[in-house]
Amino acid sequence: MDIAALIDPARFRAPVAPGNRPGDRLIDWLRRMLLIRAAEEAIGDLVLSGEARCPCHLAIGQEAAAVGVACHLDARDRAFGAHRSHAQYLAMGGDLVALMAEVLGKATGCSRGMGGSMHLYAGEVGFHGSVPIVAGTVPVAVGAALAAKKDGRGAVAVAFFGDGAAEEGGVQESLNLARVMKLPVLFVCENNLYASHMDIRLRQPSERVSRYAEAHDIPARLVDGNDVLAVADAAEELIAVARRGDGPGFLEAITYRWRGHVGPDENVDVGLRRSVTDLKSWKERDPIRRLADALLARGDLDQPGLSALRADAAGLVEAAVAEARRAPYPHASSLLGLVYAEAR
């Protein structure tokens, strides 16, 4: 796939090509993306109202990248995210109520109200944590892959990170070690063309991050990150290679976040290429709309069914926020309780 075409927001607006995939599977992927979108829109509202008082990085517009990878993972696997990881957490099957409680700092949150939006954990479904330190979990995922290799149970590790993280030395070291040791790890770069507020062209000589993988002799796939089927196909291929013990893979998904670096604002006043016009064009590549249109065209779904899916996602999120609001805050005495491991 040509990087110049992929970064052009005027391209790839048509419905995705479902091929002969079962309709129920694709509807499940659509349901997951709708839930992520509804959850993040609600989190944005909580930030605007002042109810959520932790930094919240939203991935609205990037849902396909998370779902396309997560659909090939299970509870034995070890996935790690960064500061923008609500989507990965939910795509892996993380508890929605626990996410909302964490964002609100409640004791019932997935990190007991101590981590906020950027420190999510759902080990029971294979999501082993997210942290805001740029590229911080990439070497951790490589360590998890080494453990998986020693376990011999066919598990893989996954490191989700952005294009900005690829500029950190730890990523290069991780790629090298994973390749030399043939570790079962998938590196997933969600390239949304911005690191914080800086356009990738101001930071790198090329928009294509997967060139780093090629330098380390790691198989790489470059895909339209707003096409959940393209992401899923590439992820399936690379994960299969890792599971059978043939080493790491690198998946670069070109996408675009509709909101700013942090918070619900669209950030059209920063960067040299991020403009109202560009943002509007990228919204025409909406991964949810493109999958929904394909399902409607093939007859797997009708408009009432699509409306029902949207309403169901909105209802689940509304109920989760309500339950999170009723939950208690952590007691002050627990402030230092998670600093050190507790004796067992």
Query: Domain residues of the chain, as ranges?
Result: 3-325
pTM of the model: 0.95
CATH code of the domain made up of 3-325: 3.40.50.970
> In 3D, which of 173, 85, 147, 161 has the Cα closest to residue 121?
85
- φ and ψ at residue 217, rounded to 5 degrees: 60, 40
Burial (0-12, 13-18, 19+ Cβ within 10 Å), 100? buried
pLDDT of residue 92: 97
pLDDT of residue 344: 66
Provide the strand spans (E) within 9-153: 78-81, 127-130
Say yes or no to pLDDT of 161 above 70.
Answer: yes
Task: Identify the band that residue 198 occupies on the pLDDT scale cut at 50, 70 and 90.
Answer: confident
pLDDT of residue 75: 97
Task: Identify the band that residue 217 occupies on the pLDDT scale cut at 50, 70 and 90.
Answer: very high
Least confident of 44-58, 113-127, 210-224, 255-269: 255-269
pLDDT of residue 341: 76
CA atoms within 13 A on the CB side of 103: 34
Task: Identify the band that residue 271 occupies on the pLDDT scale cut at 50, 70 and 90.
Answer: low
Q: Which two tokens stand for residue 16?
A: 């995705």
Say yes or no to pLDDT of 304 above 90.
Answer: yes
Tell me the mean pLDDT in the region 267-279.
Answer: 80
In sequence order, the β-bridge partners of residue 58 are none
Say yes or no to pLDDT of 253 above 70.
Answer: yes
Say yes or no to pLDDT of 202 above 90.
Answer: no
